[in-house]
Structure 1
Amino acid sequence: MGASADGPIGVFDSGVGGLTVLAEIRRALPAEHLCYVADSGHAPYGERAPELVRARAEAITGFLIEQGAKAIVIACNTATGIAAAHLRALHELPIIAMEPAVKPAAACTKSGVVGVLATSGTLKSEKFEALRGRFHGPVQVLTQPCPGLVELIETGDFEAEALRGLVADLVSPLLERGADTLVLGCTHYPLLHGLISDIAGPGVRITDAGAAVARHVRNRLAETGLLRDADNTPGDQRCWTSAAAPDASAALIRRLLGAAVPVAKLPC
């Protein structure tokens, strides 16, 4: 049986970071039902072996398809680089992936220097190297791996001094080398947009790919006849987490979404 337009859009990430993409999809497509998986029990993907990331992406995609998903959004740059092609080979439904917003950053930089904050896994991927190669030359594309940042974000304490100190240590070298535009190359990082902007200063532009992904989701669903009727009631949201402390993870998910959505323990 083919996918139904009334089915949900399935979205997953290694933790709560993909909620930033989910929020953009909700803004662009308010009528759509959304299912979200926070694989916090295996976060961060950027520090995991590729085999594990691929296996988790396959298992979670299968679970979301069981929930009736008509499309899958890989709301994780690391999982995109490792597993997107694999998932597309396995499944016929639309699979939408991430790409760090290097292209818009390269278009708007005035200094000619762009800094990319991302996980080690993303920066080591062939997909990112190909992306960087398309723009590096006319624009200098600097990269900054951010070990430990996702783990601090997953605690939900965005006011922690340790978090502010780490962000400052990561951003400062890029600014010192002339970057006037920063790319948030992990879906967790937009949760710190205000903090990063405060540290970087008003003269630095910050970009991420969430809104572009939401537009791509809308276009793919329109192309395949899977858009839910905009005259229908607003879509609902359901979430799952693989966190070792699911109650705490559920509380964080609800806080970040600003809604009392149902959050269950992920069974896979």
Structure 2
Amino acid sequence: MATTANAPIGVFDSGVGGLSVLRHIRAQLPREHLLYFADAAFAPYGDKPEPAVAERSLAIAGFLVAQGAKALVVACNTATVAAIKLLRAHYPGMPIVGVEPGLKPGAAASRNGMVGVLATDGTLAGEKFQLLLEQISQSSNAQFLLQGCTGLASQIELGELDSDATAAMLARYITPLLDQGADTLVLGCTHYPLVQAAIEHLIANTTPREIVLVDTGEAVARQLARLLAAAGSDRQDDGQPALLAGYTSASATALQAAFTALLGLAVPVQAVEIGIHSADAA
């Protein structure tokens, strides 16, 4: 059990968006060793066919398991929609947590029942999302205003967090939701919390109403903690520091820069090639 407990948790996303989830995991589980994989060479996932995203997700999961991962976090809404069932079937018994669009907490937070949902086109089109939308709509009576944010994840991936171009893109996607009366905005892609400051600035200059922003990264970290504790595989304090390592399918330098800029961390990063059959080989 000690070996399992000391094994790392594997976290992956199409790029740097999953760092918004990683920061919650580090806060919730400060003793855990972590591996982060950014599939930047294949980003963004949001405009890729679902089978292609599922195939990449299985391959990356295979790589992380080969590195000794005891649990997996799919820190990407699009990949969760495309691959979470496949991953759980491929690795039965392993704690695997995906990112759910925050429809339920969004409905709970809304005062007027008007909830704007910002997400990639891939997430919004996915069967898993549509089933969740139907379920929450019936149980909450909330009205969900869906907004596909084409290009926004890619813009954030470039590090354009507070540029004029990013501000214009946010205004194009968010202003119509506010005009329709939304008092709650669900950040339905893990990239979007990385521009939360820019979103808050836009809101402050657009409407006097209080707008609630829903980021589900904290809920993901709590669920991961519960699953690890239930399995008896959470790492205990042994006096050794928690380790964090990064991997990417593109530029190691770019991911290192993202760790520094977004999380204030100096993290060793290795560029690796991921074959599409990695999961089968693991």
Q: Shorter-chain TM-score category?
A: over 0.9
Measure, in 2, the Cα distance between the counterparts of 1:255 and 1:200: 24
- Once the 2 structures are TM-superposed, how far is the Cα of residue 9 of structure 1 from its aligned partner? 0.4
* Residue in 1 that maps onto 2:185: 182
1:118 partnered with 2:125? no
1:3–1:69 CA contact under 8 A, matched in 2: no
Structure 2 gap segments, 5+ residues each: 275-282
Please list, as runs of the form range in 1=range in 2, the aligned pairs for 1:127-166 lying within 5 A after superposition. Answer: 127-136=128-137, 138-166=141-169
Shift in alpha-carbon separation, 1:47–1:2, aligned structure 2, 3 A: farther
* Residue in 2 that maps onto 1:65: 65
Q: Which amino acid aligns with 1:106?
A: A
TM-score (norm 2): 0.91
* Residue in 2 that maps onto 1:260: 266
TM-score (norm 1): 0.96
- Residue 214 of structure 2, aligned match among 207, 211, 216: 207
1:36 partnered with 2:36? yes
- Once the 2 structures are TM-superposed, how far is the Cα of residue 30 of structure 1 from its aligned partner? 0.3
Q: Which amino acid aligns with 1:170?
A: Y
Any idea what SS the aligned residue of 2:4 has?
A: coil
Q: Which amino acid aligns with 2:52?
A: L
Measure, in 1, the Cα distance between the counterparts of 2:75 and 2:264: 19
1:114–1:142 CA contact under 8 A, matched in 2: yes
Any idea what SS the aligned residue of 1:216 has?
A: helix
- Once the 2 structures are TM-superposed, how far is the Cα of residue 200 of structure 1 from its aligned partner? 1.9
2:162–2:195 CA contact under 8 A, matched in 1: no
- Once the 2 structures are TM-superposed, how far is the Cα of residue 73 of structure 1 from its aligned partner? 0.3
- Once the 2 structures are TM-superposed, how far is the Cα of residue 158 of structure 1 from its aligned partner? 1.4
Measure, in 2, the Cα distance between the counterparts of 1:264 and 1:16: 15
Structure 1 gap segments, 5+ residues each: none
* Residue in 2 that maps onto 1:18: 18
* Residue in 2 that maps onto 1:45: 45
1:102 partnered with 2:141? no
- Once the 2 structures are TM-superposed, how far is the Cα of residue 2 of structure 1 from its aligned partner? 11
- Once the 2 structures are TM-superposed, how far is the Cα of residue 130 of structure 1 from its aligned partner? 1.3
Count of matched residue positions in the alignment of Structure 1 and Structure 2: 267
* Residue in 2 that maps onto 1:218: 225
1:241–1:250 CA contact under 8 A, matched in 2: no
2:259–2:266 CA contact under 8 A, matched in 1: no
Measure, in 2, the Cα distance between the counterparts of 1:174 and 1:257: 30
Measure, in 2, the Cα distance between the counterparts of 1:78 and 1:2: 34
* Residue in 2 that maps onto 1:229: 236
